[in-house]
Amino acid sequence: MKFQFIVIALLFLNACKEKTKTATVDNTSVIEVKYAEASIDLEIYDFEGFKTFLNKSDDKTYVINFWATWCGPCVKELPYFEQLHANYKNKDVEVILVSLDFPHVYETKLKPFILKHELKSRVIVLNDGNENKWINAVDASWSGAIPATIIYNKNERKFFERSFTFEELEAEVKQLK
């Protein structure tokens, strides 16, 4: 019986990715088997590498949102950034979601979160332990709280240490377009 279960579990694991299967054994036990997560290659930067995202001078408007999977307000507003990305990706607006999750949760929380929520915006990770230096370098008024968002183009820059609705986010982008 144990051998049959192992064979069934292996078949489930190898059959498909990104899904969950429920199997009934002996008509009484329900066993949930999660398939291996699809591979996601995270873009991980220290602050020196990340700085290039803060100072582009082309014709685009950039929306850079600092967030983490453990931040409730951040997760709540992510759909608005995704909607902005969908509506403006062909209109010279680039949305970049900067995860501040800790390295030990990249595989267990961040990657599954990206898959589950089907994030289409560019997701990068800022992994630099010297927060006291880079928080002030991002914006002198930033206390370090998230969510935080920068919206800028070559002519103007705005920093926000708060959550957005889609309407508020879109209005700020339109002011810079």
Burial class (CB in 10 A: 0-12, 13-18, 19+), 98: buried
Assign 34 to helix, strand or coil: strand
**Whether the predicted pLDDT of 97 surpasses 70:** yes
CATH superfamily entry for domain 43-176: Glutaredoxin (3.40.30.10)
Name the least confident of 5-9, 88-92, 94-98.
5-9
Query: pLDDT band for position 38 (50/70/90)?
Result: low
Instruction: Return the pLDDT at 82.
Output: 98
What are the extents of the domains in the chain?
A: 2-34, 43-176
